[in-house]
Amino acid sequence: MSLHGYGAKKYECLSYCWGNVSLTSEVICNGVPISVTANLAAALESLRNENESRILLVDAVCINQQSIPERNQQVAIMCDIYTSAWRTVVWLGIEADNSEKAFSLVPGLLAVQNAFEKGTDNMQDLPTFVRSISSMSPQEIRDLSGLEQLIQDEGG
């Protein structure tokens, strides 16, 4: 399936929050300087691979945002664009407000999901830190004190 110029090339879609559209940065795309939101510039810088080129489909860059007909046409096929991509990369923004603590929970949450998908109802099958959370008070959970150590002890 040809996706209106995206062709059969191996491309990745970038899903991200535009951020404040009045905060912009300049990036070089195929040798051409373009203005993008600061959040997109941070994503592109973070995702850049110095040793290998990659094709990223970024809606704000690939779709003429000033053309309502083009935007409507592209939005109509967005599902096909994303499902035809090699993969989709999600950029939530740079770390802020202890967000790294939230992401440190992901391996454990995946372990919980895997345990329940296998049909377990045995708490011993769950990671130690998950069992520990279940016995914490609401204040301890909000504080998350010691959680990182529990995760590291678990090997996550």
Amino acid at 33: P
pTM for the model? 0.61
Amino acid at 47: L
In this prediction, residue 38 carries a pLDDT of 92
* Domain segments of the chain as ranges: 12-91, 99-154
**pLDDT of the chain along its 156 residues, tens only?**
344 555 555 899 999 888 888 999 999 888 999 999 999 999 999 998 889 888 889 988 888 888 999 999 998 998 999 998 989 999 988 888 777 777 777 777 777 777 767 776 655 656 665 666 666 666 766 666 555 555 556 554
Is 86 within 8 Å of 12 (Cβ atoms)?
yes
CA distance 2 to 57: 14
